Structure 1
Amino acid sequence: MQKILSIVIKASQEFIRHSDEDLKDNAPVLNSFYESISNVYIPLLRMIEKLEADKIKYRFALVLPPVLCNMLSDPELQEDYITWLEKRNTLGKAEIRRNKADEKLCAIINDTIESNKSLLADFTNKYNKNLIPVFAEYMTRGYIELMGTCGTDIFMPHYADLKEIISAQIESGLHAYRQYFGVMPEGFWLPAMGYTPGIEKLIRAYGYTYTILDSRSILFAETVPDAGIFYPSRTDNSLVIFARNRVIDSELFGENGIIFAECYRNQNRDIGYELPMEKLTSLIDKDQIRYSTGYKYWNRCFKDSGCLYNKECAEVQVEKDAAAFVEKRCQTLDKAAELLPSYNYVSEICTLDISKLSKTWNECISWLEKVIRKASDAGLSVLSCDRMCDEQYNLEKIEPYFSAGIGTGYGENLLSSKNCWMMRYIRKSCERMIDLAGRFPMDTGLKTRLLNLGAKELMLAQSLNLAKMINRSEFPQFAEKRFKESIAAFTAVFDSLGSNTVSTEWLTKLEAKDSIFPWMNYRIFTKKR
């Protein structure tokens, strides 16, 4: 019996306005985006290159949302990333001078500077400043499956009664995927794995073969499938359902989770939060809020304030943790195979929010590479879910239960006391957008531009990332401002269409600022018959 480990890597990114006047205000959030390029996207490409060179057989799924693809493809941000790396190295040289008496500390600083130089060389020379075509190339070679998703990270259960909104999000995401990668995806990634009964009909209607749900959707179904979460099932309309094993989250982030080993780099201790502002001016303006600089000198040992980070020690720990992780996967799949002897394979779905993981665990990509290598050595097949859909129409039918992959399993953190005020504005805007699409079905010129802008602003406001940021107090001012700007812009569009007046200067300026989805067609919000 084949034993399959299926790894699904989800990247995330909120849209950030980056015209000249907004660069300064958004610097902390842009810093987070550039760190993701340095710590996640380029390391992922390097990992694939190494595995290919060593002829390791594997295939994992990757979710690159349209907003992220838009930003990675933006020439202005590409150039700004290069400047950002150079500024970091300028700060590093100042750190060398400040710590010249400490040989060990200087070694860590030099290592960070050399890493930035290597990133700069790869980004400009090897990848031609655009990572999207490189991911597309590895997709065509069969190493990764790129899953489709919504235009923005909308939490679908909040809009279950507004099918036009969900359809518009799925359609815009599909169009973006074709624009960036040129093919039709088989798998659909539900943002935050937010599922409510009925959504499967809309997903299937756009040609998707499968999706992934939280394990409780399957285990709490009225009829639990015989194979549980270790074999796919299907909905009534034959959308294949895979269940992620949520136990893996506990292994990574739990009280004794892998990421908290003492020798790993402490991601929270950064000179950007510790040094006087006058020593950081080469990177952070004096009147800005503090953010990370990448110069992190300490490990996770809190017993002694002098615990410097040791890269070699961390790599040894990564090796141990990867081996232990793969061993647990083998034990789980061996037990599943024993209990399900009549099946031709058993699988375990491991979903990783790589953006979240990299912020808390510097060594996560190195760990992932070793997991893939060790899984192959242990006899596990590392495959994406699209390779397990051959029996699509013969799978057991179920009616999945409502669930989500965030909060305690139901997405309740998206409607907390901190962010629940957002919902009344977004719901009213959704109703208005559906109405506008019906009232202006064939308009052209300025009205079309207005309606397309309104559609984009609505989709940006629907992003669950904004509610998450406010709830966990991660750049909450940015999230609130971003949301209110989109709602205000949509309301202005609605009022302009009602009064039949529009400021072309205002329209042109906002179109330039919110340059996402240049192909947007507001008619995707039209009521479906």
Structure 2
Amino acid sequence: MALGYLALVLHAHLPFVRHPESNYVLEEEWLFEAITETYIPLLQTFQGLKQDGIEFKITMSMTPPLVSMLRDSFLQERYEQHLSKLEELGAKELQNHPDNGHLQYLAQHYINQFARVRKTWEAYQGDLVTAFKELQDSGNIEIITSAATHGYLPLMKMYPEAVKAQINIACDHYEENFGCKPRGIWLPECAYYDGLERFMADANLRYFLMDGHGLLYASPRPRYGTYAPVYTESGVAAFGRDHESSQQVWSSQVGYPGDPVYREFYKDLGWEAEYEYIKPYILPDGQRKNTGIKYHKITSRTAELGEKKLYDPYWAREKAAEHAGNFVFNRERQIEHLAGIMQRQPVVISPYDAELFGHWWYEGPWFVDYLIRKSWYDQTTYEMVHLAEYLRLEPVQQVCKPSQSSWGYKGFHEYWVNSTNAWIYPHLHEATERMIELSRREAADEWEKRALNQAARELLLAQSSDWAFIMRTGTMVPYAVRRTRSHLKRFNKLYDEILQGSIDRVWLEKVEKIDNIFPNIDYQVYQPIEQPVKLGRKP
């Protein structure tokens, strides 16, 4: 029998970005890049493992915005155009370097990659959600949910109706797309506050993910630290992130992705190629952008971009295998040690953003493939496990009250409320109060009902934690500001028209087509929650 368990958890999330009102919006390529570099490569990795008879087990969140975009026919059509452009550029690159064998080798590498992506894309007619659902149905992947639009829940604490809406809408959306209820939830940004578990319990969720210090500072202190879940007083289990295994992958100083042989993310053909040559493949206004074709390796942590040497996928794959072996070796030693002092089977929770694997760390899917294969063939110290399965195997756990926390800077909420983004919250709070007010209404007719439902969508989209995050990082800030303001403006226009009893039907239809997330939403999900009456003596 194994001494313990390893739970690999991937969080697949992107904000809802969809602009049928424009011919081209750069931010839509966030999804297209992730499909090409992360979601399809991971899917191919999982399918290859399954075909080879490896009974792997992974937990993976797929957030409602991501699922909605992956199943949107408009975005599927635009991705088809994006992929065709990549294939065309790859073919041109093969002919563009007749005297450089290494660049021809790299161009052929990308041509082969795009061909594999095309094959998977067409096999599922663009519906990647169905492909991942097949892996859930076979027992290999346990897919969990997240909040409806990845809203930062602790900053909604004063409006329990908003928290409830984020969770319940997400669970309903999950059931619509996967044909069953979700068992677990990845809290957006792993952000937790005391009392949040009650909304999860009401939605019949069995467990959630949080950062390690949220568990370590629970009350009472968990006997087994982060190496066993705890049950909250509502009965929902909390799993805490393991710092040691996370650092090996995430750390910019000691993490695997910084190895010199791996591909350099910041040196892209879109910025390197001669302008007239690359012009058809960059922005419509002629500005350069990343294409996804990158020919150089990291080389060293201190090398300037001009000093980067040519990349070699063969040696990068070999290094990914070496790093996967190192990860497995470290988990073996870690679990042997923990099992000895705990006198029970520990579980090591290793959660990561899915987009790290393939997009930011090009070799990430190879690493995952080797990690699972080495875990299956080369060791008997631990078993890979789904989180729900672990709770079934180990139903008795300590009851604790976790600590308020997140996995952001300083471990709390500072990254999502600071001088760069604090201005959004008075507006979000006012809109939330107005939505709760609107939820009391009985729609006078079908048009008012549609307006009420669209108001709920606009509030949800404005609440996405991604906009505050982007404002803090300083990248693509104008877009994040514009998205926050546009959703709030649309919400306030709907609010005024609903109260006035005069719906601009042409405008409403246009907005419904643009912000079409959650087609089955019911605005009454925001109905006021009665607060419990506290009994006691009168003074």
Distance 1:393 1:260 in 2: 39
Tell me the equivalent position of 1:348: 348
> After alignment, is 89-98 or 178-187 more displaced?
89-98
Task: Choose the corresponding residue for 1:325, options 315, 324, 327.
Answer: 327
Tell me the equivalent position of 1:509: 510
Deviation at 1:85, TM superposition (A): 1.2
CA contact (8 A) 1:112 1:294 kept: no
When residues 275 and 132 of structure 1 are mapped into structure 2, their CA distance, relative to the original with a 3 A threshold, is: same
When residues 271 and 442 of structure 1 are mapped into structure 2, their CA distance, relative to the original with a 3 A threshold, is: same
CA contact (8 A) 1:441 1:523 kept: no
Deviation at 1:408, TM superposition (A): 2.5
When residues 111 and 357 of structure 1 are mapped into structure 2, their CA distance, relative to the original with a 3 A threshold, is: closer
Structure 1 counterpart SS, 2:346: strand
CA contact (8 A) 1:57 1:382 kept: no
Deviation at 1:94, TM superposition (A): 3.4
> After alignment, is 410-419 or 482-491 more displaced?
410-419
Distance 2:53 2:393 in 1: 29
Percent identical pairs in the alignment equals 25
When residues 53 and 471 of structure 1 are mapped into structure 2, their CA distance, relative to the original with a 3 A threshold, is: same
Distance 2:519 2:338 in 1: 48
Cα root mean square deviation, aligned: 1.7
Matched, 1:369 2:366: no
CA contact (8 A) 2:298 2:308 kept: no
- When the two structures are superposed, what TM-score results if normalisation uses the length of structure 1? 0.95
- When the two structures are superposed, what TM-score results if normalisation uses the length of structure 2? 0.93
Tell me the equivalent position of 1:213: 210
Question: One-letter code of the match for 2:506?
Answer: E
Tell me the equivalent position of 1:136: 133
Distance 2:422 2:80 in 1: 38
**What do residues 341-396 of structure 1 show as CA deviations (whole Å, max 9, x unaligned)?**
1x2x2100000101144332100011011111112221221111101113776321
Question: One-letter code of the match for 1:191?
Answer: P
Task: Choose the corresponding residue for 2:31, options 12, 29, 33.
Answer: 33
**What do residues 476-501 of structure 1 show as CA deviations (whole Å, max 9, x unaligned)?**
22221111110110010111122222
Tell me the equivalent position of 1:462: 463
CA contact (8 A) 1:193 1:212 kept: yes
Tell me the equivalent position of 1:4: 5
Tell me the equivalent position of 2:285: 287
When residues 393 and 252 of structure 1 are mapped into structure 2, their CA distance, relative to the original with a 3 A threshold, is: closer
Deviation at 1:183, TM superposition (A): 0.3
Runs (4 or more) in structure 1 with deviation over 6 Å come to: none
Tell me the equivalent position of 1:161: 158
CA contact (8 A) 2:3 2:336 kept: no
Question: Following superposition of structure 1 onto structure 2, how do residues 285-324 of structure 1 map, counting pairs within 5 Å?
Answer: 285-287=283-285, 289-302=287-300, 303=303, 305=307, 307-324=309-326
Question: Following superposition of structure 1 onto structure 2, how do residues 16-415 of structure 1 map, counting pairs within 5 Å?
Answer: 16-19=17-20, 21-24=21-24, 26=25, 28-124=26-122, 126-254=123-251, 255-287=253-285, 289-302=287-300, 303=303, 305=307, 307-341=309-343, 343=344, 345-376=345-376, 377-379=378-380, 380-390=382-392, 394-415=396-417
Distance 2:225 2:284 in 1: 56
Distance 1:391 1:235 in 2: 18
Distance 1:62 1:480 in 2: 30
Aligned length: 522
Question: One-letter code of the match for 1:193?
Answer: C
CA contact (8 A) 1:234 1:392 kept: no
When residues 306 and 456 of structure 1 are mapped into structure 2, their CA distance, relative to the original with a 3 A threshold, is: closer
Matched, 1:525 2:522: no
CA contact (8 A) 1:236 1:398 kept: yes
> After alignment, is 419-428 or 385-394 more displaced?
385-394
> After alignment, is 389-398 or 253-262 more displaced?
389-398
Deviation at 1:277, TM superposition (A): 3.9
Distance 2:283 2:398 in 1: 59
Distance 1:441 1:391 in 2: 47
Question: One-letter code of the match for 2:492?
Answer: T
Structure 2 counterpart SS, 1:419: coil
Structure 1, gaps ≥5 residues long: none
**What do residues 137-191 of structure 1 show as CA deviations (whole Å, max 9, x unaligned)?**
1111100101122111011110112110010011110111011001011112111
